[in-house]
Structure 1
Amino acid sequence: MTAPPLPIAPDLLPAIRESCIEAGELALALFRPGAKTAAKIWSKTGGSPVTEADIGVDTFLRIRLSVLLPEAAWLSEETVDDALRLSRRFVWVVDPIDGTRAFMSGSPDWAVCVALLDEGRPIAGVVHAPACAATYTALSGGGALLNGAEIKATTRSTIGGAHIAGPKPMLDALARLETFEQAEKIPSLALRLTRIADGTIDAGLVSADARDWDIAAADLILHEAGGRLSTGDGQDVVYNRETPVHGMLVASGAALSTPLLSALQHMRDSQPQRI
């Protein structure tokens, strides 16, 4: 039975946005532009870093968002996963600081990311980059905004001449097939996607192992700006699965999606060990 539509996302988006902005202020207190963060740093299992800013923002958002929609489950990079989310219609998906290494080193390219899922798809999303003075927001069916102004992804339909961001091995493999401009590295995956949404770059390639919290909010923003994030096989991305990990992904303006997917398939066929 299809769940009935609710006016829940439009009602909640202003509060989600304000929560992300306040969370960003907490992180900014420990951010040092061009220098090492003042935050304490630990290593998680597997070796990836986490800072006291990540933990503080995660705690703040969990308290704030849980009040907004108590029936929603929770999925965050910095919280132990709870399988209860698999049985819930609504799920908060949170990355307290997407681009922790950028935050640690003084690069401005990090963001606070929040998405609200309804049956596995984002219906509201915020990507707030406080050090860049950029706040992206989107509602399902309601368009995408940057600092309150409407944004649109590129209408480019050919790879030639496009500005494309992504991991260097993937870009190098694509460069053997097409001529394009390699965009400057964007440490935050969410910001890579939102900068496609606002037309700063034309497309982005994403290597395997992205998590729901890296992409859910930015996926909605890109979609509402007229772009598309898809799997390497051209399928829509599905969230809140048992294992919230994704394979290779492709992001671009809608008209560029098919050419990129075709090129990706050619790359796989000709150099499977590199892709």
Structure 2
Amino acid sequence: METYIQEKEVAKQIALRAGQVILEYYSKNVSVTMKSGDEPVTEVDHAANNFIIENLQKAFPEDLIISEERADDPKRLTAKRFWLVDPLDGTKEFLAHNGEFSVMIGLVEWGKPVVGAVFQPTENRLWWGDRTKSFMLDNGVETTLQVSDRTDFQAMRAVVSRSHRSALLDQVFAKFNITNEIISGSGGIKIGLISQAKAELMASASAGYKIWDICAPEAILIGAGGIVTDFAGQPIDYQNKEQRAFNGILASNGKCHSDLVLGMKDLITLPFSKK
């Protein structure tokens, strides 16, 4: 029996429409301010955020909604169910006009991501689904997502960040002889590529990822047969107070995931720093 029918459809439609809100600003000069560190936030982030929250609240008035662009709600720590929203994942990519940004809407229930929608507006490409099945809508053509069956590390394709690269990640790739790299912005797009068998691995060796960065794509990847853990091989904690994945993010097609975790133990010290 299909699960979360309404939630999936609502998340899908809101993500698509929020993408159009974002594209209205794409050719304009937008105002930019800086959050903590070197993270930019724009009027586009806020416009998309307001649109998503307003429409999610209309559809699910009883649900808690947590977003990158609003203060956390302590109810999240014990809530049975809540939404996690990143209205513009890849603000730097948006400002660079390279197209590698996305809208991400995910639903957590009993601590696990159960529904996700990730939309890349510039490519008109949507990934969405739940933990049992996920799909891609690519310029109007719908396909069921299924991860690749590659098990040879030398043949695996790793999706790596355009703007955040660590020496530790280079060490991990060298140990496993992983040399095929795809460069992309937005964690949602990276994991989307794994879910559609265009890549097999994404790793972030820092505590930089927030829970809204990973929730929606995790649900989609699991539905496609993949897996997401931290570098210790543990599930991501979506109800920690700091809203961070302190032990990093490891997403894969699931075929050699445990081998990766075991093989990295002598290289890493957990938790990672926030940078």
Match in the other structure for 2:184 = 186
**CA-CA distance at 1:69 after TM superposition:** 1.0
What residue identity is the alignment partner of 2:153? I
Q: 1:158 to 1:259 in 2, by over 3 A?
A: farther
Question: Does residue 145 of structure 1 match 2:140?
Answer: no
Q: 1:87 to 1:267 in 2, by over 3 A?
A: closer
Of the structure 1 ranges 172-181 and 12-21, higher mean CA displacement relative to structure 2 is found in 172-181
Q: Distance in 2 between matches of 1:90 and 1:211?
A: 18
Match in the other structure for 1:262 = 262
**CA-CA distance at 1:70 after TM superposition:** 1.2
Structure 1 length-normalised TM: 0.89
Kept in 1: contact 2:205–2:249 (CA 8 A): yes
Matches within 5 A, 1:159-238: 159-166=153-160, 167-209=165-207, 210-238=209-237
Q: Distance in 1 between matches of 2:151 and 2:182?
A: 21
Q: Distance in 2 between matches of 1:268 and 1:140?
A: 29
Kept in 1: contact 2:194–2:200 (CA 8 A): yes
What residue identity is the alignment partner of 1:241? N
Kept in 2: contact 1:155–1:256 (CA 8 A): no
Q: 1:31 to 1:170 in 2, by over 3 A?
A: farther
**CA-CA distance at 1:204 after TM superposition:** 1.0
Structure 2 length-normalised TM: 0.89
Q: Distance in 2 between matches of 1:91 and 1:73?
A: 5
Structure 1 unpaired stretches of 5+:
1-6
SS in structure 2 of the partner of residue 61 of structure 1? helix
Kept in 2: contact 1:89–1:119 (CA 8 A): yes
**CA-CA distance at 1:178 after TM superposition:** 2.6
Q: Distance in 2 between matches of 1:8 and 1:197?
A: 19
Question: Does residue 158 of structure 1 match 2:152?
Answer: yes
**CA-CA distance at 1:211 after TM superposition:** 0.5
1:192-247 deviation per Cα after TM superposition (whole angstroms, max 9, x unaligned): 11111111111111122211110000001111111111111111222132221002
**CA-CA distance at 1:128 after TM superposition:** 0.5
Q: 1:176 to 1:183 in 2, by over 3 A?
A: closer
Q: Distance in 2 between matches of 1:161 and 1:171?
A: 17
Q: 1:174 to 1:46 in 2, by over 3 A?
A: closer
SS in structure 2 of the partner of residue 254 of structure 1? coil
Kept in 1: contact 2:169–2:205 (CA 8 A): no
Q: 1:133 to 1:267 in 2, by over 3 A?
A: same
CA-based RMSD of the aligned residues comes to 2.1
Match in the other structure for 2:79 = 88
**CA-CA distance at 1:130 after TM superposition:** 0.7
Matches within 5 A, 1:105-120: 105-120=96-111
**CA-CA distance at 1:8 after TM superposition:** 7.2
Q: Distance in 1 between matches of 2:114 and 2:175?
A: 36
Q: Distance in 1 between matches of 2:213 and 2:102?
A: 10
Question: Does residue 134 of structure 1 match 2:125?
Answer: yes
Q: 1:30 to 1:48 in 2, by over 3 A?
A: same
Kept in 1: contact 2:65–2:84 (CA 8 A): yes
What residue identity is the alignment partner of 2:136? L
Matches within 5 A, 1:231-246: 231-246=230-245
Q: Distance in 1 between matches of 2:238 and 2:152?
A: 29
Kept in 2: contact 1:72–1:88 (CA 8 A): no
Matches within 5 A, 1:3-14: 9-14=4-9
**Structure 1 vs Structure 2: percent identity of aligned residues?**
22
**CA-CA distance at 1:168 after TM superposition:** 4.6
Of the structure 1 ranges 18-27 and 39-48, higher mean CA displacement relative to structure 2 is found in 39-48
The number of equivalent residue pairs is 261
Kept in 1: contact 2:134–2:221 (CA 8 A): yes
Segments ≥4 residues shifted beyond 4 Å: none
**CA-CA distance at 1:125 after TM superposition:** 0.6
Q: Distance in 2 between matches of 1:242 and 1:178?
A: 34
Q: Distance in 1 between matches of 2:99 and 2:243?
A: 27
Q: Distance in 2 between matches of 1:87 and 1:267?
A: 34
Structure 2 unpaired stretches of 5+:
none
